[in-house]
Amino acid sequence: MKKMKLVVVGNGMAGMRTVEELLKIAPDLYDITVFGDEPYPNYNRIMLSPVLANEQTIDDIILNSREWYAENNIRLYTNARINKIDRKNRLVYAEDGTSAEYDRLLLATGSRPFMLPIPGADLEGVIGYRDIQDTNAMIDAAKVYKHAVVIGGGLLGLEAANGLKIQGMDVTVVHRSEWLLERQLDKTAARMLQQSLEAKGLNFLLEKDTEQLTGKDGRVTAVRFKDGQEIPADLVVMAVGIRPNFALAESAGIHCDRGIVVNDTMQTYDPRIYAVGECVAHRGISYGLVAPLFEMAKVCATHLANFGIGRYVGSVTSTKLKVTGIDLFSAGDFTGGEDTEEIVLHDAVGGVYKKLIIKDDKIIGSVLYGDTTDGSWYFQLLRDKKPIHEIRDHLMFGQDSLGNTGHQGQDKASAMTDEMEVCGCNGVCKGTIVKAIKEKGLFTIDDVKKQTKAGSSCGSCVGLVEQILASALGGGYAPPSTNKAVCGCTDLNHEEVREQVRQHKYLNIPDAMTGMQWRTPNGCATCRPALNYYLISTWPHEAVDDPQSRFINERVHANIQKDGTYSVVPRMYGGVTTPNQLRKIADVADKYAVPMVKVTGGQRIDLLGVKKEDLVNMWADLDMPSGYAYAKGIRTVKTCVGSEFCRFGTQDSTQMGIDIEKAFDHMWAPHKVKFAVSGCPRNCAESGIKDVGIIGVDSGWEIYVGGNGGIKTEVAQFLCKVKSHDEVLEYSGAFIQIYREEARYLDRTVHWINRVGLDYVKKRVIEDAEGRKAAYERLLFALQGAVNPWAERVQKRDEHKEFETITL
Amino acid sequence: MSDWTKVVALHDIPKLGSRLVRSAKGEIAIFRTEDDRVFALHNNCPHKGGPLSQGIVYGDKVACPLHNWRISLVDGQAEEPDEGHTACFAVKVEDGAVYLEI
């Protein structure tokens, strides 16, 4: 089949991002031609400021090298400005006469700096700040001239001013408004920013209207203001705003209104022509930041690929100033109004200012200065429109989202040196991450994880990585929405998959994947285990449990170790054992020459270093139930001694633990589930850091949920107090069942509770008595007839050939 | 001189699964895809030597059980951005039996 022809006008970040997204999903659909009017391949425009500040070179910021275009069979014309579109014959013409035919046309013509229409604006030495040429002009000017004036105290103007100062010029920033960055900051934050920049040696003239530029021999020499003041200037940078480039589209008769008008699929009024980036007007808005462009690119690519899915519905943007040493973040509506509330923290001496604007229990805007650690978090709450009343009292103090271990106790990336380790699992330093972001053009956490491995193991440092990304990219960084697709095999998120499994009653993986239009024939190692869990948790006793979609540990009911051997942990209900069990364990350890016998943190015994082919024989000899120490499911119920022996004990915690462990034995869950039962508030079983922690008191039992002793210590929250033993089972069982039914695969209870809120959990488990009983019944139903998987394997040896090694 | 050696019946390898063969050339993992193609790789992940035979098989790839490196069954190459290579062995299916060239 002959390929369709796609012509892209504009070789910038929006256009090329669309092409990249398109190649990912439909690599062979188009024959692609790209026209760019600059002499360079696609580069990272948002990194021009670091180039001007001597922090990077032009080579560092190239995103797609000429080789990349060649490898992907893309014809690239540089220095080629398109000046005519012939829609009737579907042709575009470049100024030099080159032409190209298209079946689909993508306009990504970007924007240009707005030049004030004042006398002298055409003098030599008066420039905008948009591309590599402008950047080089500034660097060259700094070698010869002394006085620079930047007109416009917005993000771009301040970055230009900072760069020119570093290049050695005397820099004055002229701004019309009362304070800097008036579209991003309130007055207080702007004043703090101005002071920091003044300390760096920049000069400011606020509330100044420029009247004209004067020159000598054709080159600018001074800037004159309406109040008569005049200051010397050898270089004038105009940074008062941008204007979308839509003249080309307009001349071809495509509807434009201060930008190329597109619908939610990024299509223009000509159905063969799409447009993305700064040149478009979507729902009346033109964007000048990179994050929205990438969202547009993704949507546009799905339509170019003929998938017909995806809508762009506009973006909420956030900004950050890329001036080294200055931390500033702003997002959404930060001025507020009559119906909004504010939370403000202001430490003038410490140089920290934080303001959150709240409306109807949701954050609608934020301004952070000096400490922007939580910028991404606030932005996420804003984008996800999350109610905040539950966290309101500590909202201002941040998310504290980082794990407490593995990165030297650091929680602020800006305070770390390049040599300091960010990811303790994979040994990745801050410098390595920064370098990868800049050189490889990374924009998302997933990019960084893939390229550097930082944050890809335990995940405790993801918050730090995010800070590093945000500070390197400035406005280019958009935190991932918490509502993302399960994996690359589907566009559906976890909740949508669960809903479809329920609605269509999918009972096996092939049906589910076909029904939900999975893009890959049999998924991947990320989605298959999740999908398998959703099937069996939604349709217990009916859905087919697919062993090949389970991680090896759950497939063979043992824990794989680094050398490929396994560990075997028999269940000891409530951590109670007998001399007889201990003798059996000792005999087995001897018989199979187990290299290590270890007591676990969950009050049982671990036999480590067992060969796979010995597993079944060993289970037969042990004749004890599996402890599920390998499972996303119930692990242990840790107990203290309790009232049977302990002089302080108020309740029989040991028996309670045994009963819980027996009741919920064999339970699969989205992630591992740990219980503990203590017999008195001294809490020797550490109930405060368990998924379900139970503490006996004289008058009954307190139930706590969502604790975690892992990567990040999370203290369990009080759920309720109950009187009887049976109530403990019912309440904790209902809680776990709702978690089993509603959490995302690989969510621990704490992650799930953080997302839905403890109020929701209380409503389901405490207030709704019928619902609670029903949930508990569903759990008992799901567990009905469950058997010890070890015994089952021993009985049906012949059906599990995979345990046998073939020897040649 | 290499020979085709009969190793196992095709139906004794689970679909999207594998079997482990111990041979003079070390441990070899034999994989079966959904569409009944069969591949053989050295049972060692190029990363930290994880037993690939124990990984999750999807498409024509296997995810290592230790650190989730994704290795192509076709050429033993690690998926980008990871870099590494695992040796491949020739393998064929005839009359429902799997033969390994070894």
Closest CA to A17 of A444, A553, A378: A444
Interchain CB contact of B14 with A (< 8 Å): yes
- Six-digit token pair at A404? 């407490």
* CB-closest option in B23, B61, B70 to A808: B23
- Whether A60 and A195 map to the same domain: the answer is no
* Contact partners, residue B42, CB within 8 Å, separation at least 6: B26, B27, B28, B29, B52, B76, B86, B87, B88, B89
Min Cα–Cα distance to chain B from A592, Å: 20
Closest CA to A675 of A635, A625, A735: A635
In chain B, residues with a C-beta closer than 8 Å to the C-beta of A528 are 56, 58
Interchain CB contact of B15 with A (< 8 Å): yes
- Six-digit token pair at A628? 């599920």
Is residue A438 in some structural domain? yes
Cβ proximity of B6 and A804 under 8 Å: no
- Whether A42 and A168 map to the same domain: the answer is no
> A805 vs B12: CB contact, 8 Å cut-off?
no
Cβ proximity of A587 and A664 under 8 Å: no
In chain B, residues with a C-beta closer than 8 Å to the C-beta of A549 are 16, 56
Task: Give dist(CA A673, CA A747) in Å, integer.
Answer: 10
Interchain CB contact of B24 with A (< 8 Å): yes
> A808 vs B5: CB contact, 8 Å cut-off?
yes
Cβ proximity of A74 and A33 under 8 Å: yes
- Whether A640 and A775 map to the same domain: the answer is yes
- Whether A105 and A133 map to the same domain: the answer is no
> A520 vs B58: CB contact, 8 Å cut-off?
yes
Interchain CB contact of A565 with B (< 8 Å): no
Is residue A769 in some structural domain? yes
Interchain CB contact of B16 with A (< 8 Å): yes
Task: Give dist(CA A707, CA A583) in Å, integer.
Answer: 35
* CB-closest option in B5, B16, B63 to A522: B16
Where is A564: in which H helix or E strand?
Answer: none
CA distances from B61 to B38, B40, B41 (A): 12, 12, 11
pLDDT score for A376: 77
Preceding amide of B81 cis, omega within 30: yes
Q: Is residue A422 classed as helix, strand or coil in its secondary structure?
A: strand
Is residue A532 in some structural domain? yes
pLDDT score for A338: 86
Task: Give dist(CA A719, CA A704) in Å, integer.
Answer: 5
Residue from A71, A550, A552 whose CB has the most chain B CBs within 10 Å, to mutate: A552
Q: pLDDT averaged over consecutive 10-residue blocks of chain B (102 residues)?
A: 85 93 92 95 93 94 93 93 91 94 86
> B50 vs A547: CB contact, 8 Å cut-off?
no
- Whether A156 and A50 map to the same domain: the answer is no
Task: Give dist(CA A537, CA A670) in Å, integer.
Answer: 9
Min Cα–Cα distance to chain B from A710, Å: 19
> B65 vs A552: CB contact, 8 Å cut-off?
yes
Interchain CB contact of B7 with A (< 8 Å): yes
Interchain CB contact of A549 with B (< 8 Å): yes
Task: Give dist(CA B78, CA B68) in Å, integer.
Answer: 11
> B22 vs A560: CB contact, 8 Å cut-off?
no
Min Cα–Cα distance to chain A from B47, Å: 12
- Whether A348 and A219 map to the same domain: the answer is no
Amino acid at A795: Q
> A801 vs B19: CB contact, 8 Å cut-off?
yes
Indicate which CATH number applies to the domain containing A196.
3.50.50.60
ipTM of this predicted structure? 0.93
Q: Find the residue in B nearest to A613 (Cα).
A: B20
CB < 8 Å & 24+ apart, contacts of A212-219: A212/A118, A212/A119, A212/A120, A213/A118, A213/A119, A213/A120, A213/A121, A213/A123, A213/A126, A214/A120, A215/A120, A215/A123, A215/A124, A215/A125, A218/A123, A218/A124, A219/A123, A219/A124, A219/A125
Task: Return the sign of the alpha-carbon dihedral for residues A334, A335, A340, A345.
Answer: positive
Domain boundary among A368, A395, A422: A395
- Whether A389 and A425 map to the same domain: the answer is no
Min Cα–Cα distance to chain A from B71, Å: 12
pLDDT score for A614: 93
In chain A, residues with a C-beta closer than 8 Å to the C-beta of B24 are 808
* CB-closest option in B12, B18, B59 to A521: B59
Q: What's the domain count of chain B?
A: 1
Q: Name the stretches of chain A with pLDDT < 50.
A: none
Indicate which CATH number applies to the domain containing B64.
2.102.10.10
Closest CA to A336 of A296, A299, A363: A363
Interchain CB contact of A602 with B (< 8 Å): no
- Whether A767 and A650 map to the same domain: the answer is yes
- Six-digit token pair at A72? 């992907």
Sheet with B61-63, side-by-side order of all strands: B56-58, B61-63, B70-72
> B81 vs A549: CB contact, 8 Å cut-off?
no
Is residue A623 in some structural domain? no
- Whether A380 and A343 map to the same domain: the answer is yes
Burial of A578 (0-12, 13-18, 19+ CB in 10 A): exposed
- Whether A637 and A763 map to the same domain: the answer is yes
> B55 vs A525: CB contact, 8 Å cut-off?
yes
* CB-closest option in B57, B70, B102 to A548: B57
Strand A673-678 to A634-639 pairing = parallel
> Directed axis angle between helix A725-742 and helix A769-783, to 10°?
80
pLDDT score for A386: 86
Cβ proximity of A312 and A295 under 8 Å: yes
- Whether A291 and A386 map to the same domain: the answer is no
Q: In terms of residue numbers, what domain contains B95?
A: 4-101
In chain A, residues with a C-beta closer than 8 Å to the C-beta of B19 are 801-802, 806
> A451 vs B81: CB contact, 8 Å cut-off?
yes
Task: Give dist(CA A192, CA A321) in Å, integer.
Answer: 14
Closest CA to A402 of A390, A393, A411: A411
Indicate which CATH number applies to the domain containing A645.
3.30.413.10
Domain boundary among A520, A550, A580: A550
Min Cα–Cα distance to chain B from A457, Å: 8
* CB-closest option in B12, B50, B61 to A801: B12
Domain boundary among A503, A521, A550: A550
Is residue A403 in some structural domain? no
In chain A, residues with a C-beta closer than 8 Å to the C-beta of B59 are 520-522, 524
> A560 vs B59: CB contact, 8 Å cut-off?
no
Q: Find the residue in B nearest to A563 (Cα).
A: B50
Q: What's the domain count of chain A?
A: 6
In chain A, residues with a C-beta closer than 8 Å to the C-beta of B66 are 560, 562
Task: Give dist(CA A546, CA A517) in Å, integer.
Answer: 19
Interchain CB contact of B92 with A (< 8 Å): no
In chain A, residues with a C-beta closer than 8 Å to the C-beta of B69 are none
One DSSP character per residue, A188-241 reads: HHHHHHHHHHHHTT-EEE-S--EEEEEEETTEEEEEEETTS-EEE-SEEEE-S-
- Six-digit token pair at A36? 């760019």
Q: In terms of residue numbers, what domain contains A505?
A: 494-550
pLDDT score for A440: 82
- Whether A274 and A322 map to the same domain: the answer is no
Residue from A514, A518, A522, A533 whose CB has the most chain B CBs within 10 Å, to mutate: A522
